[in-house]
Amino acid sequence: MGIYAIIMAGGVGKRFWPLSRKRKPKQFLPIVSEKTMLEETIERILPLIPYERIYTVANAEFSNEIYKLVPNLPEKNLIVEPSAKNTAPSLLLATARISSEDSDATIVALPSDHYIRDKNRFNKVLNACLKMAQTGEYIITIGIEPSYPATGYGYIHYSPKQTFEAEGMKFYWVEEFKEKPNLEEAIKYLAEREYFWNSGIFIWNVKSFSEKLKKYTPELHADYIALYEALEKNEKEKAIEIFQKFPSTSIDYALMEKAKGILVIKGDFGWSDVGSWSSLAEILPRDKEGNVIKGDVILMDSKNCIVYNPNIFTSLIGVKDIIVIYANNALLICNKKYDQKIKELVEKLEKENRKEYL
C-alpha cells in the first residue's frame, strides 16, 4: 500500500553544453536554482514520499553522483541500469524492483530534470493522482496545457467531455498519445483545445501496471514477469540478461500509446522541461531588455540575450537573441533560434574525439 517514486536520472542532456558534460548532464547542474535539478526534484516530493521510498534509476556512474549529491537516499534505492536504454526498460526494471518489495506499491515515475514553479500545487495534483492510482484501476499521467505549438513535446489527446471529479480534481480519459508533431499538426492541436503536452510524469499501482502490460503488450509483460521473478530470487545475472533484451523505447511508445483506460489530469503548477538554454531563459528572471544574466556582465544596446559566465567579466554591445555561455573549458556563442544545433555541435565534438570538451 506504500507510495513510491521512481526518478529517471539517466538522461545525457547535450543541449546545455558547454555547461553540461557527459559526466554532468542537466539533472546534476544547478541551473534554475542554487540546487541541482535532481535535488529540486527529490525535495519537491518529500512532503508526499519519504527518502526511504524514493528510487532513482540511472547508470552506475550517475548513481554514484546521486549518492554523493543526496546522501539521504538509501543506497539500495539507487537502481543501476546495466545499460542506457530509454524510459521503458528503466521503468520496467524499477517497477519490478519496487513490486518485489511491496506487491501493492503505488508509484510516481518522473523525470529528474524538469522545472516546476508551484511546488504546493504540484503535490496537490500528484496526491490526487496517487490516491486514484491506489485503487489499482488506472494508469494516470499529468498533462500540461500547451501555451504555444511546440514541436518538441509529445501530446496527449484527451476527451474534454468524458471527465470525472475525484479527490477534488478533474480527470480526463486519454484518447490517444501523440508523438512529437510537426508545426502544422501542433498548431491544429493547439486550436482544438483537446490536447495536453506530455509531461513524462506517470502514476500507477504495480497491479494496474502489470495488468495493462499484460493486456496491451503481452510479450513485454512476459519479460517483465521474468524480470520480477529474477529480482525476487536475487538472480542478478538473469535480471541483467532480461533487461538487455528490452527494446530501447520510451514508456510512451512501449505502453501508453497502446493501452486503453488511461487518465490524464491537468498539471496547472507551472512546468518546463528546461530543454534548452532558450527555455531556461523563459523561467529565469530577466532584466528590462529581456536579458538573462549570470556573472559580471555589462550590456549596451543588447536585448533578449542569455549570458552565463560566472568566471569572466563579459560585455555585450549591440547584439540580440544571442546565447553566450562560458563554462568549464569552452565558450559558446549561439543564436537563440539555433539552440537546437548545440546538440549537433556536441556530436561533432564526439566524432572528432575531442574528449576534453565532452
Cis peptide before 160 (omega within 30 of 0): no
Taking alpha carbons only, the member of 151, 105, 135, 130 closest to residue 202 is 130
Residue 341 corresponds to which cell in the numbers above? Answer: 544545433
Residues 20-59 close enough to bind a copy of itself by CB under 8 A: none
Among 168, 317, 353, 355, binds a copy of itself (CB under 8 A): 317
Q: Is 301 in the site for a copy of itself (CB under 8 A)?
A: yes
Phi, psi of 349, deg, nearest 5: -65, -35
CB of 354 to a copy of itself, least distance (A): 8
Binding segment for a copy of itself among 228-236, 249-257, 259-267, 337-345 (CB under 8 A)?
Answer: 337-345
Which is closer to a copy of itself, CB of 6 or CB of 19?
Answer: 19
Tell me which residue of 35, 10, 3 sits closest to 86, measured CA to CA.
10
Closest contact distance (angstroms) between CB of 346 and a copy of itself is: 10
- C-alpha 69/C-alpha 73 separation (Å) is 9
- DSSP conformation class of 289: T
| Contact call for residue 335 and a copy of itself (CB under 8 A) | yes
Cell 539533472 -> residue? 27
d(CA 304, CA 293) in angstroms, rounded, equals 10
DSSP state of 269: S
Among 193, 337, 351, 355, binds a copy of itself (CB under 8 A): 337
Q: Does 342 bind a copy of itself (CB under 8 A)?
A: yes
# residues near a copy of itself by CB under 8 A: 34
Residue 249 interacts with a copy of itself (CB under 8 A): yes or no: no
Binding residues for a copy of itself, per CB under 8 A? 18, 298, 300-301, 309, 312-319, 322, 324, 326, 329-335, 337-339, 341-342, 344-345, 348-349, 356-357
